[in-house]
Amino acid sequence: MIFNSSMRNVAACVRKRHHVSLTRRHSSILSPAVNHLNAIRTVLWSHNLKIGQRGIDTRRRSITELFPTCVLHHYAFSTGFTSVHGERPSAQYARLRKESLEIEFGQALGAQSSRSFSAYYRFGPFLALYRAAIISFQVVKLSIWHLFLQDIESRAVKFRETLIRLGPFYVKLGQALSTRPDILPSVYCHELAKLQDQIPPYPTDIAMKSIESQLGVPVSQIFADISPEPIAAASLGQVYKAHLHSGELVAVKVQRPGMSLSLTLDALLFNMIGGQLRRFAKARKDLMVAVNEMVRHMFEEIDYILEGHNAERFASLYGCYTGSEQGSQERRSTAVKLGKKENCVKVPKIYWNLTRKAVLTMEWIDGIKLTDADRLKKALLNRKELIDQGLYCSLRQLLEVGFFHADPHPGNLVATDDGSLAYFDFGMMGEIPRHYRVGLIQVLVHFVNRDSLGLANDFLSLGFLPDGVDIQSVSNALQASFGDGTRQSQDFQGIMNQLYDVMYEFNFSLPPDYALVIRALGSLEGTAKALDPEFKVVESSYPFVVARLLADPHPDMRKILGELLIRNDGSIRWNRLERLVGHPFLPFFCF
Residue pair 103/25 in contact (Cβ under 8 Å)? The answer is yes
Residue pair 391/543 in contact (Cβ under 8 Å)? The answer is no
Q: Is 516 helix (H, G, I), strand (E, B) or coil?
A: helix
Give the H/E segment covering residue 107: none
Beta-bridge partner residues of 249:
243
How far apart are the C-alpha atoms of 253 and 153, rounded to whole Å?
38
How far apart are the C-alpha atoms of 578 and 114, rounded to whole Å?
60
How far apart are the C-alpha atoms of 427 and 44, rounded to whole Å?
30
What pairing do the DSSP bridges indicate for beta strands 20-21 and 429-431?
unpaired
How far apart are the C-alpha atoms of 527 and 507, rounded to whole Å?
31
- What are the start-end ranges of the H helices in 419-507? 434-448, 452-461, 471-481, 492-505
Work out the number of other CB atoms within 10 angstroms of the CB of residue 251.
20
Residue pair 183/286 in contact (Cβ under 8 Å)? The answer is yes
What pairing do the DSSP bridges indicate for beta strands 49-51 and 20-21?
parallel
Residue pair 238/201 in contact (Cβ under 8 Å)? The answer is yes
Which is catalytic among the residues 407, 458, 491, 513?
407
- Residue 161 backbone dihedrals phi, psi, to 5 degrees: -65, -35
How far apart are the C-alpha atoms of 62 and 33, rounded to whole Å?
16
What pairing do the DSSP bridges indicate for beta strands 56-58 and 20-21?
unpaired
* 407 included as an active-site residue: yes
C-alpha gyration radius of the chain: 25
Beta-bridge partner residues of 536:
none
- Please list, residue by residue across 496-505, b when 16 or more beta carbons sit within 10 angstroms of its beta carbon and e when fewer do: bbbbbbbbbe
- Residue 287 backbone dihedrals phi, psi, to 5 degrees: -55, -45
Beta-bridge partner residues of 362:
251, 350
Entry field: residues in the chain = 591
The 8-class DSSP code of residue 193 comes to T
Catalytic residues: 407
